[in-house]
Chain A
Amino acid sequence: AQSVAQPEDQVNVAEGNPLTVKCTYSVSGNPYLFWYVQYPNRGLQFLLKYITGDNLVKGSYGFEAEFNKSQTSFHLKKPSALVSDSALYFCAVRARGNTPLVFGKGTRLSVIA
C-alpha cells in the first residue's frame, strides 16, 4: 500500500526566512510525488510534481521540492517566505498505475511578518 507522512502539523517561519515543509512516502516501486496548497475555504491548488529526472523540482510561486530516494522524502522548500504563503500544504503520492493520489494529513504553514 502507498502512504504519505507529513510529520509536522504546524510550521512557523518569519517572513524572508527559508521554509521547509517535510514529507516522507512509502510506495512499492518508483513513486509519483505531488505538492498542493489550500487557502481557507478553497480547493487544492497544484504546486509541483516529481515524476523522474532531476531530483530538484521547481514549481509555482517560487516553491521547489527535493526528491531523495534513499530517505524516501520529498520536502517542499522556498528560499524566502512570504506572509501570503500562509496556508495548508499537502503532499501526495501515486504509485504507477491508474490510481487516485494518496494525500498526507497536511501541514499548516504560518509566515509571520
Chain B
Amino acid sequence: SQTIHQWPATLVQPVGSPLSLECTVEGTSNPNLYWYRQAAGRGLQLLFYSVGIGQISSEVPQNLSASRPQDRQFILSSKKLLLSDSGFYLCAWSVLISFGQGNEQYFGPGTRLTVT
C-alpha cells in the first residue's frame, strides 16, 4: 500500500530564517505531487505541484520554492521566512493522471509551521 510522510510535524522558526519541509511517498511510482498551505484551519491554497522530476508548477508567487530531486520526494523551501508564512503545510500525491481519469489526491499528516 502507499504511504506519504511529512517532516517535521511541527516547526517554530524566527522571521528571516530558512525553511525546508520534506515529503516522501512510498509504494507508488511517478506520482503527481502537491504542496498546499492551510491558514487558520480553513481553506487550502495550492502552492506547487509536480508531474515529474524537476517539473514544478508554481501557483502563487511568493518567497517559497519547491523542488523534486527524486521521483517520490518533494521539498518545500524558503530562504527567508515571513510572519505570513505561518500555517499548516500539507503534501499530497495522486497517481499520474491520464486524460479522462479522476483520481483522488492523498494527503500527508501535515507540518505546523509557526514563524515568530
Q: Which A residues lie at the B interface, using CB under 8 A?
A: 32, 34, 36, 40-46, 49, 51, 88, 90, 94, 96-98, 100-106
Tell which of B41, B49, B99, B107 touches A44, judged by Cβ atoms closer than 8 Å. B107
B43 lies within 8 A of A104 (CB): yes
B107 lies within 8 A of A43 (CB): yes
Give CA–CA (A43, B91) in the complex, Å. Answer: 9
Return the chain A residue nearest B9 by Cβ.
Answer: A41
Give CA–CA (A46, B32) in the complex, Å. Answer: 16
Q: Which of A100, A102, A104 has the most CB of B within 10 A?
A: A100
Interface size on B, residues (CB 8 A): 27
Within 8 A of A (CB), among B98-116: 98-100, 102, 104-110, 112
| Distance to closest chain A CB from B113 (angstroms) | 13
Known: A103-B43, A105-B42. A32 touches B102 (CB 8 A): yes
Give every chain A residue within 8 A of B59 (Cβ-Cβ): 100
Q: Is B81 engaged at the interface, CB distance under 8 Å to the other chain? A: no
Tell which of A34, A88, A98 touches B97, judged by Cβ atoms closer than 8 Å. A98
Give CA–CA (A43, B37) in the complex, Å. Answer: 11
A45 lies within 8 A of B107 (CB): yes
A49 lies within 8 A of B104 (CB): yes
Q: Which of A42, A102, A105 has the most CB of B within 10 A?
A: A42
Tell which of A32, A88, A98, A103 touches B41, judged by Cβ atoms closer than 8 Å. A88
Q: Is B74 engaged at the interface, CB distance under 8 Å to the other chain? A: no
| Distance to closest chain A CB from B108 (angstroms) | 5
Give CA–CA (A36, B97) in the complex, Å. Answer: 19
Tell which of B49, B88, B96, B100 touches A96, judged by Cβ atoms closer than 8 Å. B100
| Distance to closest chain B CB from A10 (angstroms) | 11
Give every chain A residue within 8 A of B92 (Cβ-Cβ): 43-44
Return the chain B residue nearest A49 by Cβ.
Answer: B104
4 closest Cβ pairs, A-B complex: A32-B102, A43-B107, A105-B43, A51-B102
